[in-house]
Amino acid sequence: MADNLKDIYSRDFLLELASKVETVYSGFQTTDFVAAVLDDNWSALSVRGRSKAIAEKLGYFLPPNYEDALEVLFKVAEDCSGFPYLFFPDFVTVFGHENRYWDLSMLALETFTRCSSSEFAIRPFLLNDPERTMKQMTQWALHSNEHVRRLASEGCRPRLPWAEALPLFKANPEPVLSILNLLKEDRSLYVRKSVANNLNDISKDHPDLILKTARTWLGISSDTDWIVRRGCRTLIKNTNPDIMTLFGYVLDPKVISNAKISSSPESVSLGEQSEFTYTITLELKEETNLRIEYAIDFVKSNGQGSRKAFHISDKTVTGKTTLTGVKRYKWNDLTTRRHYAGHHHIVLLVNGIEVAKTAVTLSV
């Protein structure tokens, strides 16, 4: 998540929020609330940290009774839509986790997710009481509102980015699949994207289970086919042989009559750019799906290589076909990748098969 995203929570934003709350709760102390939020720890907090901090501070300035505080938030929720208002469901996580508030907290998460998203806030409830919470999410999967149905899928993703992991569903995703099965033909693309992303999460721990699911779901409808294809994207990227076969990415290397990749320049310094030019000629008797990538075997600090593949194209072709293109790579250090001097191999991949290679010498 980009560092500057946290700046959405500016002083002006907090003042606008306080103004909205004041319209329905005259006892709200705007000046003290803003000062409490913008404390000495504020600048160091991440975007999610800031959302949670706002939720916590709201608890001090709204009515002390949880039910009464929620009533205030319910009244302003429709005027507080979008990503920044994740602190509404966060408020439920912080102050509504007790068993006596269960029904009210579920109603609150259902309400707030329509304007923002409760995908993060539901996870502590899943960790604390997975069976009861999954029953609630099963009901949400049948809801008339697409935002609520999406919550049923997005909230139980085993590997939801920027959220607490769900180890129980990493180990056994069957309860998750039972919810996804209810949503596999959903009329909303918003929901279908979530279902696909959930399948992709599961595939990282249980590829065979996702292969079985894919075989069962394929052919139900074009929308479900789209979900399955997107849900298997990591398995395709990793060239899982069964998934490659299922989606028609079968390729006999003998059909490739020519494949080349070249680099210009052949030697670069840190911060400079390489240009990779590739050509592939194939003679296919049948329609075939092709996933074309180039990969760099990055030299690491210990001298060993670490491969990273970069997507070029994904297409269906038949007959004699020549594919050409140019890709560029800038040798800049990133927070997730540091470059080291040495001879970096560049490989052209077709359906995971190495068909050509070149090299770049990097100076640091």
Q: What is the pLDDT of residues 27-76, one digit of tens each?
A: 999 999 999 999 999 999 999 999 999 999 999 999 999 999 999 999 99
Burial 206-232 (b: 16+ CB within 10 A, else e): bbebbbebbeebbeeeebbeebbbbbb
Cα gap 168→150, rounded to integer Å: 21
Q: Which long-range contacts (CB under 8 A, 24 or more apart) does 218-227 make?
A: 218/246, 220/184, 220/185, 221/185, 223/185, 223/186, 223/187, 223/192, 224/184, 224/185, 226/192, 226/196, 227/184, 227/192, 227/195, 227/196, 227/199
- Identify the pLDDT of residue 335: 84
Task: Assess whether pLDDT exceeds 50 at residue 19.
Answer: yes
307-355 pLDDT, tens per residue?
A: 999 999 999 999 999 999 999 999 999 988 999 999 999 999 999 999 9
Show the CA angle centred on residue 326, arms to residues 325 and 331, nearest 5°.
155
pLDDT at 3: 54
pLDDT of residue 2 exceeding 60 = no
Record the pTM.
0.88
Assess contact for 270 and 364: CB atoms under 8 A. Answer: yes
Q: Could you tell me the two tokens for 259?
A: 């494949």
CA distance 312 to 255: 20
pLDDT for the residue 251: 87
Q: Tell me what the mean pLDDT of segment 120-133 comes to.
A: 97
Angle CA 50–56–57, to nearest 5:
90
Q: How far apart are CA 74 and CA 68, in angstroms?
A: 10
Pairing of β 256-264 and β 342-350: unpaired
The per-residue pLDDT for range 267-307, each reduced to its tens digit, is: 999 999 999 999 999 999 889 999 999 999 999 988 888 99
Contact 195/177 with Cβ under 8 angstroms? no
Q: Give backbone dihedrals phi and psi of 230, rounded to 5 degrees, phi first.
A: -70, -35
pLDDT value of position 1:
40
pLDDT of the residue at 336? 86
> What's the whole-number mean pLDDT along residues 217-231?
97
Query: What pLDDT does 4 receive?
Result: 80
For residue range 140-198, what is the model confidence (pLDDT) as tens digits?
999 999 999 999 999 999 999 989 899 999 999 999 999 999 999 999 999 999 999 99
| Chain centre distance of CA 34 | 32
C-alpha 90/C-alpha 49 separation (Å) is 10
Q: What is the 3-state secondary structure (H, E, C) of the chain?
A: CCHHHHHHCCHHHHHHHHHHHHHHCCCCCHHHHHHHHCCCCHHHCCHHHHHHHHHHHHHHHCCCCHHHHHHHHHHHHCCCCCHHHHHHHHHHHHHCCCHHHHHHHHHHHHHHCCCCCCCCCCHHHHHHCHHHHHHHHHHHCCCCCHHHHHHHHHCCCCCCCCCCCCHHHHHCCHHHHHHHHHHCCCCCHHHHHHHHHHHHHHHCCCHHHHHHHHHHHCCCCHHHHHHHHHHCHHHHHCCCHHHHHHCCCCCCHHHEEEEEEEEECCEEECCCEEEEEEEEEEEEEEEEEEEEEEEEEEECCCCCEEEEEEEEEEEEEEEEEEEEEEEEEECCCCCCCCCCCEEEEEEEEECCEEEEEEEEEEEC
Domain ranges of the chain: 1-121, 253-363
The radius of gyration of the chain's CA atoms, rounded to the nearest angstrom, is 25
Return the pLDDT at 250: 87
What topology does CATH give the domain 253-363?
Immunoglobulin-like (2.60.40)
